[in-house]
Structure 1
Amino acid sequence: MSAEFRKRAKNLLLLDIETVCNPASYQELPERLQPLWIKKAASLARRDEEPPSPEELFYDRGAIYSEFGKIVCIAFGAFYWNEKEEMNFKVRSISGHDEKKVLEEFKILVEKYPPHELILCAHNGKEFDFPFICRRMLINDMIIPKALQLAGKKPWEILHQDTMELWKFGDYKSYTSLDLLAAVFNIPGSKNEMSGALVSQVYYEEKNLEKISRYCREDVVVLGQIYLKLHSMPLIDPDHISRIP
């Protein structure tokens, strides 16, 4: 284990978010937002041979747009070393129906780190997780923590990492899922109980936020193992991984 990695690990936070459409259906959208969703749905529908209705699209895809979705869970993990100098990985999650409270708790966590030293890492985080968090903070009348205030910064001034970007090695032609990388590296996946496409259904129909939280934590476990592989390091033994609800 290199001294450089141990130094970086002190300020490294790996994360994943789970989002749902907000509100639960197109019919519940504020009147002003309904035609704006129809406009958005029209651009999405053009990609389908038999496009679903705007109402169906909202339930299926509203969660991936920060203007029409909300965060119900943020899971995060960190590497640490025990008294035997063995590397461990601890994962915890923040979840709730009140998005602002979830974001406020996450902000408190982020602000415990020096903003110029904190390294956030997520899979496709630079295109999804990080901007989604920032936009939802603004929508909830919150001040974005300094570590996430990236506007105007030069690329080399941004410490945050993205495992999908690391895997691309400069190739921008395609999207590679976390699940695919896990399979390639023979890492146990996180899709045993549910998949990301079912989050809104589990939230609104099953009303099972804890199931979503477990899934989110497992995604971060997979993310941590993939992060190690991408840095040519051995995987952490499952016995050295702890999960905190």
Structure 2
Amino acid sequence: MLYKLNLEHILFLDIETVPQQQHFTDLDETAQLLWEQKTQYKRKDEFTAEEFYDRAGIWAEFGKIVCISVGYFNSKGDLRTFRITSFYGEEIQILKQFKQLLKDHFSQVKHLLCAHNGKEFDFPYIARRMVINGINLPYKLDLFGKKPWEVPHLDTMELWKFGDYKHYTSLKLLAHVLGIPSPKDDMDGSMVKDVFYKENDIDRIITYCELDVVTTAQVFLRLRNEELLADEEIKKV
């Protein structure tokens, strides 16, 4: 079935998120208490709620999106390109621009969204932040009433599970075992908060996010046993 999908109908994406506030003490008292309750079982007795706040970006209720990067295939004859672009700035504008992209270019039944661990993280996170920001969900993220086979989402981590529900594989590990050249990135997900709040370097975050989009597309190609993208085929638009 995977081989029958048209690559040009798939939008590959990745998001980068940070805590809504730089410091735990910047939250109001109610939010601090709710954060403490939300993370109680995750923290156990190892960390205080304040010490654990560096990880707040992974929860849509306490985090926000600072970048969405997307990529899609475009072919003309024997020429194949993979075009990438990013949305960044104020979160509500990021979400509106991403929604407009879906509406204009990826709204038909044939279109699919693909991310690594997207079903557990990227897709629901974007949807939740849209609701929080008062944005009506686009069709591709509104799953209410859809049967499992009608959900227009692909997940490279799920594809790699082959039915094994307890198996987690990071994008970096999967790329390594599949022989995909590792991009020369200078950061990882745990650094995004500091790069955003302390270094104020959104360009560095964008580069990191776009590299993950390219790597996700490369993994998808390998799962289809197709030739990997060459550097000259990747275009930033």
Quick one: which of 107, 114, 121 aligns to 2:99?
Answer: 107
**Residue equivalent to 2:203:** 210
**Residue equivalent to 1:63:** 57
User: In the alignment, does 2:74 pair up with 1:80?
Assistant: yes
**Residue equivalent to 2:223:** 230
Quick one: which of 129, 139, 153 aligns to 2:146?
Answer: 153
Taking the aligned partners of 2:43 and 2:113, their CA distance within structure 1 comes to 34
**Residue equivalent to 1:166:** 159
After superposition, the C-alpha distances for 1:100-123 in whole angstroms (9 at most, x for unaligned) are: 000000000011123422200000
Matched AA of 2:66: V
What's the C-alpha RMSD, in Å, of the aligned pairs? 1.7
Is the CA contact 1:190–1:215 (under 8 Å) kept in the aligned structure 2?
A: no
TM-score by length of 1: 0.91
Residue aligned with 1:91, SS: strand
Structure 1 residues 121 and 143 mapped into 2: Cα distance closer, same or farther (>3 Å)? Answer: same
Q: CA deviation at 1:4?
A: 4.1
Runs of 4+ in 1 over 3 A off after TM superposition: 2-5
Matched AA of 2:124: P
Taking the aligned partners of 2:180 and 2:93, their CA distance within structure 1 comes to 33
Quick one: which of 14, 27, 30 aligns to 2:28?
Answer: 30
Residue aligned with 1:67, SS: coil
Matched AA of 2:48: S
Q: Percent identity?
A: 44
**Residue equivalent to 2:117:** 124
Taking the aligned partners of 1:198 and 1:238, their CA distance within structure 2 comes to 26
**Residue equivalent to 2:42:** 44
Q: CA deviation at 1:190?
A: 4.0
Matched AA of 2:63: G
Is the CA contact 2:81–2:234 (under 8 Å) kept in the aligned structure 1?
A: yes
After superposition, the C-alpha distances for 1:61-100 in whole angstroms (9 at most, x for unaligned) are: 1000000000000000001113x5222211111111x100
**Residue equivalent to 2:19:** 21
Taking the aligned partners of 2:136 and 2:59, their CA distance within structure 1 comes to 20
Is the CA contact 2:18–2:57 (under 8 Å) kept in the aligned structure 1?
A: yes
TM-score by length of 2: 0.94
**Residue equivalent to 1:89:** 82
Is the CA contact 1:75–1:220 (under 8 Å) kept in the aligned structure 2?
A: yes
Is the CA contact 1:183–1:189 (under 8 Å) kept in the aligned structure 2?
A: yes
Taking the aligned partners of 1:176 and 1:191, their CA distance within structure 2 comes to 20
Residue aligned with 2:81, SS: strand
Q: CA deviation at 1:186?
A: 1.8
Is the CA contact 1:191–1:215 (under 8 Å) kept in the aligned structure 2?
A: no
Residue aligned with 2:29, SS: coil
Taking the aligned partners of 2:179 and 2:40, their CA distance within structure 1 comes to 39
Taking the aligned partners of 1:243 and 1:230, their CA distance within structure 2 comes to 24
Is the CA contact 2:3–2:224 (under 8 Å) kept in the aligned structure 1?
A: no
Aligned residues: 235
Q: Name the stretch that deviates more: 138-147 or 148-157.
A: 148-157
Is the CA contact 2:183–2:211 (under 8 Å) kept in the aligned structure 1?
A: yes
Q: CA deviation at 1:180?
A: 0.3
